[in-house]
Chain A
């Protein structure tokens, strides 16, 4: 049920909310055109812990409660939101899954804003970003910190003090956060983005990737130990948001919370010990495949479509079957992609449904969103064919296709046995092409054959050569040595 409010009413409503006080002019108008007001009954689950959402919510009336289920089964109330409060900022900003469940505690009315408008406002309006960050610090940071092993046994008091002192820092892609051998000055907790941990061979000076760190990973615990030296270099692979706690900030907290110094330094020492041996078993030595995946940023990909070239007879059935399931007759897959160094496997150009979808970040029109399952979808109606996503996708999987505008032209008639026969096929195709002259541009990419009971390419490969693989699994389990 949507409120049939006029854009001008919405504009007034938005202006009346303190959170939006610094948003003005064109941006405010654009925001007003892209929000909706939705009523919810008491007891309705608005957001589920662990699901992905493409919206940011502001409470206009009523009360909502956020609670989080922990691994041990305990449930903790994280906060309540009354009129003027908001939630959903973390998934909308960093594309990670929602960290708490939010329920309507009374009948309530919410203002729902699409994540791209929210991000626009966050990136452009300092005052707005400040309010969001402050609230994040108040409400979520303490819980977020608790997910880091260093703070596992910390009391609520200690966590609150740490949250007060912590800084929220953003690093650009390809920045170096810490350098091996230098003094470690801070502990970091990743809020969003991907960081690679690299070790440099002192003799050959070759860099070896030891691990990559995604959201909720922490590093730099060594800063609190007796040997505060960085054991490796940490470099960003994407834009990265981190929570930073410097040694000075820890000292301030030690003064305020009794016993905290002992607790944190002991945990840090233990983690340090564990870490110095951890990589020997887990990831090192870095295989050619792992290097490839990490260097090509495939690690941010959720599910990559990989062809085993020692099985693939190059019959093209995968591409043809992709064409067959899409009404526009355009393949979302081509067999050009990244090959492993040994040349035996290829990451195809089908969408990886990235953990950090650069395409989504670049789209100004809200035409790309993450579905609840974490997959990346295109909203056909919103797409203007501007090709920004095509440029920003690191894997080149998006193409801009010309197609008939379904709003102007009737749907091309369905295929039939007779129309596919050689000569008739030519006649029909020509007739259909002649009948419309209005074509539009739209971005297309692999949609995982949405709605179908199969992924056509995998389903139709006669040689079991193509499969969907989690790149992380690929690296960790050496899945490619299956023959």
Chain B
């Protein structure tokens, strides 16, 4: 199970936000409360949607941080200078963490690579291992400079957690905002859509955290990629053996090779052919039967993985359209409140 989805600072933010809205009503005028909860939930919805926007922009190569690319020459010059700093650390010319950080940051700036690289200066705990173990030259410096990509927008996995928890907070605060009212069409549809989006999201996240283990379990005997290639090669073998058979059986074997769904129906024709076969052809038919049953098994394994893949993704068929609709309705709602 991927429990990492459930460990996030956004969980705390969500709890805090919901807590605040539970605590407020007694001390605040109701229209202020409605306005506040309305705007906060709108803001949350925007943040939640940004996750999708970011993913889409990236796929379209329009994500802003892809414009940060720096020429390799600059990276290499920076790396050469980091090596020089490492030499100075080794010789004891740079002693404190602060000193090293200052010099390293200057390199980042002067080589204009600070948008793509960041550094961390860490104390080097490990002294070289003795004897016949590992290299004896490593890790002797008191500090090491580690270089990492800046990842300016943060990892998508962090955005997903924001999407999850803030989406949930949105659902709850929207309920507070409307007071759970189902008496107008807008209130009714907004509440219903919110409920659908939040519930499908919750189902989704549980499926995402459990699904990979199910797939991995299924793949233990035959990994998906291997099964795919294996099935292909079995089909090719079936076609090849079929070529050496009398025309009627050759046609049948081609059909069986190309249309796996017809195997159950047409297999008896191969098991007891209507024509007399020479010993060589009889052996080929036996081989074909073995190959067909092997392919059935591999196809079965592939299908079970597909089924899980489908199962862990089906909720999106409801979640995504419902979210788009919800976004539309929210805008209509805000416009109508502002206009009338």
Contact = CB atoms under 8 A, between A and B. Distances in A.
Nearest to A274: B131
Given A309-B216, A464-B155, A147 B149 contact: no
Contact of B4 (A309, A311, A450): A311
Contacts of A465: 2, 212
Nearest to A324: B61
B272 interface: no
Interface residues on B, range: 35 or more
Interface residues of A, number: 71
A50 B87 contact: yes
B156 A211 contact: no
B132 A483 contact: no
Contact of B79 (A372, A415, A472): A372
A157 to B, nearest CB: 22
B59 interface: yes
A415 B61 contact: yes
Which of the listed residues B62, B76, B135 has the most CB atoms from chain A within 10 Å of its own CB?
B135
Contact of B75 (A218, A417, A450): A450
Nearest to A312: B212
A372 B80 contact: yes
A483 B156 contact: no
A213 B138 CA distance: 13
A455 interface: yes
B151 interface: yes
A343 B223 contact: yes
Contact of A217 (B4, B134, B208): B134
Contacts of A274: 130-131
Contact of B219 (A147, A343, A462, A483): A343
B20 interface: no
A461 B156 contact: yes
A106 interface: no
A451 B136 contact: no
Interface stretch (A68-76, A84-92, A158-166, A246-254): A68-76
Interface in A376-400: 377
A182 to B, nearest CB: 16
Interface string B53-82: 001001111100110111110011001100
Interface stretch (A21-29, A124-132, A314-322): A314-322
Contact of A313 (B91, B131, B211): B211
A377 to B, nearest CB: 8
Given A211-B132, A372-B79, A73 B149 contact: no
B76 A371 contact: yes
A407 B117 CA distance: 31
A461 B156 CA distance: 6
B83 interface: yes
Q: Which of A50, A214, A275, A415 has the most CB of B within 10 A?
A: A50
Nearest to B63: A324
Interface centre among A73, A215, A274, A311 (most CB of B within 10 A): A311
A372 B85 CA distance: 14
A278 B68 contact: no
A221 interface: yes
Contacts of B339: none
A317 B69 CA distance: 21
B136 A216 contact: yes
A344 interface: yes
A480 interface: no
A216 B129 CA distance: 11
A271 B135 contact: no
Contact of A372 (B76, B91, B128): B76
Among A460, A462, A483, the most chain B Cβ lie within 10 Å of the Cβ of: A462
A218 B132 contact: yes
A393 B156 CA distance: 31
A8 interface: no
Interface of A: 45, 48-51, 69-71, 73, 75, 101, 147-149, 197, 211, 213-221, 271, 274-275, 278, 282, 309-314, 317, 320-321, 324-325, 335-336, 339, 343-344, 371-373, 377, 414-415, 417, 420, 449-455, 458-465, 472, 483
5 contacts: A50-B90, A221-B132, A415-B61, A451-B116, A461-B157
Interface of B: 1-5, 55, 58-62, 65-66, 68-72, 75-76, 79-80, 83-84, 86-87, 90-92, 115-117, 128-137, 140-141, 147, 149-152, 155-157, 159-160, 208, 211-213, 215-216, 219-220, 223-225, 309, 312
The 8 closest A-B pairs by CB, nearest first: A71-B140, A73-B92, A219-B132, A453-B116, A51-B83, A311-B2, A69-B90, A464-B157
Given A213-B134, A324-B59, A462-B156, 10 more contacts: A51-B79, A73-B92, A147-B137, A149-B136, A310-B1, A310-B212, A449-B149, A451-B72, A452-B116, A453-B65
